[in-house]
Amino acid sequence: MRVDLFDFELPQENIALRPAVPRDSSRLLHVTGSARLSDHVVTDLPQLLSPHDILVFNDTKVIPAQLEGYRGDARIGATLHKRVDLRRWQAFVRNGKRLKVDDVVDFGEGVSAKAEDKFQDGSFLLHFLGDEPVEVLLARAGTMPLPPYIARKREIDEQDAKDYQTMFARENGAVAAPTAALHFTEGLIAALTKAGIQQETLTLHVGAGTFLPVKVDETDDYQMHSEWGRIEPEVADRLNKARQNGGRVIAVGTTSLRLLESATGEDGIIQAFEGDTDIFITPGYSFRAIDGLMTNFHLPKSTLFMLVSALMGLDTMQSAYSHAIAKGYRFYSYGDSSLLLP
């Protein structure tokens, strides 16, 4: 399909630079398979779902993966993308033309890394030097890797360290938050549990590739970034049993959805999973694992807008986004949410 089919005009004032306070006071657009749209707030979620439905959250934790340093007199910015081993990360590099293989970048605070390799997409393999765990080095020299559409508009600050982390975060490794889950609070979870709506977690370490623009004209020519994920066997068993008993599996975020679909065969059975996935979902895809999705509002021509269009239909999502823009919904990572139930 042509990528420009997924384009739309978004006014700058619709882009959220800070999250709603409290988190669950964000607006929620309910979209059904019949293209019916209704306006709600996130705290309405227990009434919009049914008993025995099951929400699936991503428990990945965002690390301070944004680094600024120097190679000689050249300023180098690095955004860690994907962990390779205990000391090596694949990273997208700003001013990468000034960096060559075997160069060492000094990120300050006693943190430095050697560029060991360069990949075809222009990213580098960085080997962090020394004996301290990389997590310790990042805590000392790194900052939260806010999406570029926020970072271009304001400075990253201490509040972002709290705001850009979900209440489920426990597995270190993401360089972007699974933002649909940012809307949840202890009070909302208690209300969902009281309504008979279950919760499960899986892990997908979101990479910086989620923000990469699609620079090809046709979706068939796009290479999706790879991310590491895990679904425990007992989680897969409970999800399968929930569906067998008439419950719906609702993914909270596109990251949860992509991992669930990667772990599910044509028979519709969700399997335990551990490894990389580069699944790219566009209209025409037949969903196997999920029955709905809660997700924020996404970039024009992005792989994530393609995914929601695959789930609900392109015309429906273009109509839903036009409605959201007209009604003043807040877009992107710190923005409002939608509940998509085909």
The residues pairing with 339 across neighbouring beta strands, listed in sequence order, are 30, 294
Whether a cis peptide bond, with omega within 30° of 0, leads into 19 is no
Domain boundary among 110, 142, 174: 142
Closest to 237 in 3D by CA, of 270, 198, 273 = 270
Domain presence at residue 148: no
The pLDDT assigned to 155 comes to: 87
Q: Scanning the structure block, which residue is given the tokens 């384009």?
A: 7
Q: What is the number of other CB atoms lying within 10 angstroms of the CB of residue 241?
A: 11
Number of H helices, E strands in the chain: 9, 17
Q: In which element (H, E) is residue 194 found?
A: helix 186-194
Q: How confident is the model at residue 156 (pLDDT cuts 50, 70, 90)?
A: confident
Q: What residue type is 23 in one-letter code?
A: R
Domain presence at residue 78: yes
pLDDT above 90 (res 8): yes
Please indicate, yes or no, whether residues 191 and 44 belong to a single structural domain of this protein: yes
Please indicate, yes or no, whether residues 51 and 106 belong to a single structural domain of this protein: no
Please indicate, yes or no, whether residues 218 and 194 belong to a single structural domain of this protein: yes
Q: What percent of the chain has pLDDT over 70?
A: 100
The residues pairing with 39 across neighbouring beta strands, listed in sequence order, are 29
The pLDDT assigned to 96 comes to: 94
Domain presence at residue 308: yes
Q: What percent of the chain has pLDDT over 90?
A: 90
SS3 call for 210: helix
Please indicate, yes or no, whether residues 58 and 74 belong to a single structural domain of this protein: no
Burial of residue 251, with CB atoms counted within 10 A of its CB: 0-12 exposed, 13-18 middle, 19 or more buried = buried
Q: What residue type is 112 in one-letter code?
A: S
How many structural domains compose the chain? 2
* CA distances (Å), origin 215, targets 5, 80, 212: 14, 21, 9
SS3 call for 294: strand
**CATH number for the domain that contains residue 127:** 2.40.10.240
Vertex 337 angle, CA 59 and 91, to 5°: 50
Q: What residue type is 149 in one-letter code?
A: Y
Please indicate, yes or no, whether residues 261 and 130 belong to a single structural domain of this protein: no
Vertex 178 angle, CA 173 and 180, to 5°: 165
Please indicate, yes or no, whether residues 222 and 315 belong to a single structural domain of this protein: yes
Closest to 68 in 3D by CA, of 116, 102, 105 = 105
Rounded CA-CA distance 80/333 in Å is 18
The pLDDT assigned to 121 comes to: 86
Domain presence at residue 157: no
Rounded CA-CA distance 180/326 in Å is 21
Instruction: Tell me what the pLDDT averaged over the chain comes to.
Output: 95
Torsion sign over Cα 232, 304, 55, 83? positive
Domain presence at residue 27: yes
Please indicate, yes or no, whether residues 45 and 82 belong to a single structural domain of this protein: no
Parent domain of 260 = 3-62+162-341
226 Cβ neighbours under 8 A, 6+ residues apart: 82, 207, 209, 276, 277, 278
- 100-142 pLDDT per residue, tens: 999 999 999 999 999 999 998 899 999 999 999 999 999 999 9
- 175-192 pLDDT per residue, tens: 999 999 999 999 999 999
Length of the chain: 342
Please indicate, yes or no, whether residues 221 and 125 belong to a single structural domain of this protein: no
- 291-329 pLDDT per residue, tens: 999 999 999 999 999 999 999 999 999 999 999 999 999
Please indicate, yes or no, whether residues 260 and 283 belong to a single structural domain of this protein: yes
